[in-house]
């Protein structure tokens, strides 16, 4: 039966075409879309149906097709896209697949492809004045809370573990939990760096140390002397309290300091999830080699891209990582080779980052009541619903994007064996 599309706008019709192609290729779910008062018949043959409601539908799709990722994300945050949390990733994958899968894209009409590509390459740049402000905007949530303790509590609601990490874990075939996956990563990097039971007392520098998870593990498991650098006031305060709580005073220290100002000599230097916040890699790698002791090693773990022309996602740069981006893998390897004799790159198991992000999202949703209560009582962000959806969209969008593209890798560099 032919269905009339007269009630739908041009962009709504293009979306329906995209959804139909998507369901043919990925048929685990069916979709039922409601455009304001107009319910479009179910698309797909699966009994598992995802229901999506578009409020102010014509305006919503105008924004999606003219503003790209920013328009899509803000429409969700404003409540104009309504879908169950458990189904949101599958819904977003419709948009991610069409802009990342050429076979999918070119099965559509040329005029539809034009509007899709126009939306894909729509970019807007949102950056703060300096790296210090960028870091504290996200990791200390300076715009959301007056008190750094409240900022830490926000993150602990969905990152909490014995060794907190806000970076991709290592999911092996038999890994059962996120905590285990993070330990897998720690052990993998310890082996890469040559850290073992005979390393007690050696010096480790953690650049962009976050909440200190890697340092705490290395100090407690291998008895290393650790120092962390961070620009986040909230993270520094958390690490200082944890040092005291774990009885590691004198073994771990943390400084509020730009990583480009690193000083001293170390056996091991690591940067886990750091490079996404930088642009001057050359200066950092040069200073890293100068800060290494003889036979020392450095390791940087990051999400990399491998394409020639890359621009960051407009939603993420506005709301989550102002001034952030994804470094190019080949470019960084070449810079390392200027300063180190040996440069070795290894990846993490496929889908390690999407699995990590999915765990964070599930925990965020599980603790949404506590997060909402914290924002209502201690936050200064105004619209709590909007703020919660910002983080939900960020986590799901990132998971979708890294399911179809992006490389999770670590670069090990050293000169003396």
Domain assignment present for 290: yes
Asked if residue 16 and residue 74 are part of one domain, the reply reads yes
Q: Where are the alpha helices (DSSP H) in 160-312?
A: 178-193, 213-222, 233-245, 281-290
By CB neighbour count within 10 A (0-12 exposed, 13-18 middle, 19+ buried), where does 261 fall? exposed
* pLDDT score recorded for residue 114: 47
Asked if residue 71 and residue 97 are part of one domain, the reply reads yes
Asked if residue 340 and residue 297 are part of one domain, the reply reads yes
* pLDDT score recorded for residue 6: 57
Number of domains in the chain: 2
CATH number of the domain bearing residue 404: 3.40.50.150
Asked if residue 153 and residue 49 are part of one domain, the reply reads no
Q: What is the pLDDT of residues 82-128, one digit of tens each?
A: 999 999 999 999 988 876 666 665 566 555 554 555 555 565 544 44
Asked if residue 369 and residue 330 are part of one domain, the reply reads yes
Domain assignment present for 271: yes
Domain assignment present for 126: no
Domain assignment present for 37: yes
* pLDDT score recorded for residue 83: 98
Q: What is the domain extent for residue 82? A: 10-120
Domain assignment present for 5: no
Asked if residue 227 and residue 94 are part of one domain, the reply reads no
Asked if residue 273 and residue 367 are part of one domain, the reply reads yes
Q: Distance between CA atoms of 190 and 187, rounded to whole angstroms? A: 5
Asked if residue 274 and residue 239 are part of one domain, the reply reads yes
Question: What SS3 state is found at 351?
Answer: coil
CA distances from 145 to 150, 361, 377, 379, 405 (A): 7, 21, 10, 5, 34
352: left (phi over 0), alpha (psi -120 to 50) or beta: alpha
Rounded average pLDDT per 10-residue block, the chain, 417 residues: 66 91 92 96 97 97 90 96 98 84 59 54 51 52 84 93 94 95 98 98 98 98 98 94 98 95 96 89 94 96 72 83 82 95 95 97 98 93 92 96 87 88
Domain boundary among 120, 144, 160: 120
Domain assignment present for 2: no
CA–centroid distance for 110 within its chain: 33
Place of tokens 């179809």: 404
CATH number of the domain bearing residue 21: 3.30.1050
CB 298 within 8 A of CB 412: yes
Q: Distance between CA atoms of 177 and 355, rounded to whole angstroms? A: 10
Interhelix angle 110-120/85-100, nearest 10 degrees: 110
CA distances from 318 to 16, 227, 245, 296 (A): 28, 31, 36, 38
Asked if residue 353 and residue 295 are part of one domain, the reply reads yes
Asked if residue 371 and residue 261 are part of one domain, the reply reads yes
CB 301 within 8 A of CB 271: yes
Q: What is the pLDDT of residues 331-359, one digit of tens each?
A: 999 999 999 999 999 999 999 999 999 99
Asked if residue 180 and residue 101 are part of one domain, the reply reads no
Nearest CA to 394 out of 151, 84, 89, 130 is that of 89
* pLDDT score recorded for residue 128: 43
Both tokens of 378, joined, read 């201690």
CB 208 within 8 A of CB 277: yes
Domain assignment present for 194: yes
CA distances from 151 to 156, 272, 356, 361 (A): 9, 21, 21, 18
Asked if residue 192 and residue 92 are part of one domain, the reply reads no
Q: Distance between CA atoms of 87 and 147, rounded to whole angstroms? A: 34
CA–centroid distance for 172 within its chain: 20
Q: What is the pLDDT of residues 193-224, one digit of tens each?
A: 999 999 999 999 999 999 999 999 999 999 99
* pLDDT score recorded for residue 281: 92
Domain assignment present for 3: no
Domain boundary among 75, 94, 120: 120
N-terminal to C-terminal alpha carbon distance within the chain: 71
Domain boundary among 68, 98, 120: 120
* pLDDT score recorded for residue 74: 96
């Amino acid at each position: 039966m032919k269905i009339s599309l007269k009630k739908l706008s041009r962009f709504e019709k293009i979306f329906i075409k995209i959804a139909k192609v998507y369901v043919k290729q990925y048929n685990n779910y069916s979709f039922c879309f409601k455009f304001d008062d107009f319910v479009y018949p179910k698309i797909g043959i699966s009994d598992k149906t995802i229901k999506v409601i578009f409020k102010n539908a014509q305006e919503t799709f105008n924004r999606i097709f003219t503003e790209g990722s920013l328009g899509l994300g803000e429409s969700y945050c404003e409540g104009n896209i309504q879908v169950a949390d458990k189904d949101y990733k599958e819904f977003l994958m419709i948009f991610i697949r069409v802009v990342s899968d050429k076979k999918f894209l070119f099965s559509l009409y040329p005029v539809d492809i034009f509007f899709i590509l126009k939306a894909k390459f729509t970019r807007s740049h949102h950056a703060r004045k300096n790296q210090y402000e960028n870091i504290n905007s996200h990791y200390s949530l300076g715009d959301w809370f007056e008190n750094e303790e409240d900022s830490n509590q926000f993150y602990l609601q969905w990152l909490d573990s014995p060794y907190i990490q806000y970076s991709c874990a290592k999911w092996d075939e038999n890994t059962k939990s996120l905590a285990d996956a993070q330990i897998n990563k720690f052990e993998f990097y310890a082996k890469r760096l040559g850290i073992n039971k005979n390393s007690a007392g050696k010096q480790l520098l953690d650049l962009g140390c976050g909440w200190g998870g890697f340092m705490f593990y290395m100090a407690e498991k291998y008895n290393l002397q650790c120092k962390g650098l961070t620009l986040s006031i909230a993270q520094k305060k958390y690490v200082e309290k944890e040092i005291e709580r774990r009885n590691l005073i004198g073994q771990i220290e943390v400084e509020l300091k730009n990583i480009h100002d690193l000083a001293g000599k170390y056996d091991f230097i690591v940067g886990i999830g750091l490079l996404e916040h930088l642009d001057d890699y050359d200066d950092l790698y040069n200073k890293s080699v100068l800060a290494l002791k003889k036979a020392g090693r450095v390791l940087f773990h990051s999400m990399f891209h491998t394409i020639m022309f890359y621009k960051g996602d407009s939603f993420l740069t506005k709301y989550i990582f102002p001034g952030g981006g994804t470094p190019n893998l080949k470019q960084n390897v070449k810079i390392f080779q200027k300063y180190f004799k040996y440069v070795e790159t290894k990846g993490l198991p496929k889908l390690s980052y999407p699995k990590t992000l999915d765990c964070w999202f599930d925990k965020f949703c599980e603790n949404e009541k506590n997060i909402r209560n914290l924002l209502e009582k201690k936050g200064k962000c105004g619209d709590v619903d909007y703020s919660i959806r910002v983080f939900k969209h960020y986590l799901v969008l990132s998971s979708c994007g890294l399911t179809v593209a992006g490389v999770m890798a670590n670069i090990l560099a050293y000169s003396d064996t």
